[in-house]
Amino acid sequence: MKLVIGIVRPEKANDVLEALYRAEVRGVSLSRVEGHGGELERVETYRGTTVKMGLSDKVRFEVAVSDSFAEATVNALCEGGRTGEVGDGKIFVVPLEQAVRIRTGESAEAAVTPVASR
Partner 1 sequence: MSAVDTGDTAWMLASTALVLLMTIGLGIFYAGLVRAKSTLNTFMMCISAMAIAGVTWALIGYSLAFDGDGALLGGLGHVALNDVGFAPRGEGTIPHLLFMAFQGTFCIITVALVSGAVVERMRFGAWMVFAALWSIGVYAVLAHWGFGGGWLFQEGAVDFAGGVPVEMGSGFAALAAALVVGARKDYGRQALLPHNAVYVLLGAGILWFGWFGFNGGSGLGANQAGVLAFVNTMLTPACALLTWFVLDLIRGRRVTAVGAATAIIVGCVLITPAGGFISPGWAMVLGFLGALPCYAVIVWRPRTRVDETLDVLAAHGIAGFTGILFLGLVAQAGWNGEGIDGLLYGDAGQFGSQALAAAAAPAYAFIATFVLLKVIGAVMPLRATEHDEAVGMDVVYHGEEAYASGEGAILVTPESDGELLVADPN
Interacting residues with partner 1 (CB under 8 A):
9, 11, 14, 34, 36, 41-46, 49-55, 83, 85
Q: Please say which residue, 55 or 115, places its beta carbon nearer to partner 1.
A: 55
| Shorter beta-carbon distance to partner 1: residue 52 or 103 | 52
Question: CB of 100 within 8 A of CB of 40?
Answer: no
Distance in angstroms (rounded) separating the CA atoms of residues 118 and 111? 12
Nearest approach, Cβ of 94 to partner 1 (angstroms)? 25
Please tell me the distance from the alpha carbon of residue 51 to that of residue 59, in angstroms, as a whole number: 23
* Rounded least distance, CB 45 to partner 1, Å: 5
99 vs 105: CA distance, rounded Å? 10
Measured from the CB atom, the residue of 52 and 118 that comes closer to partner 1 is: 52
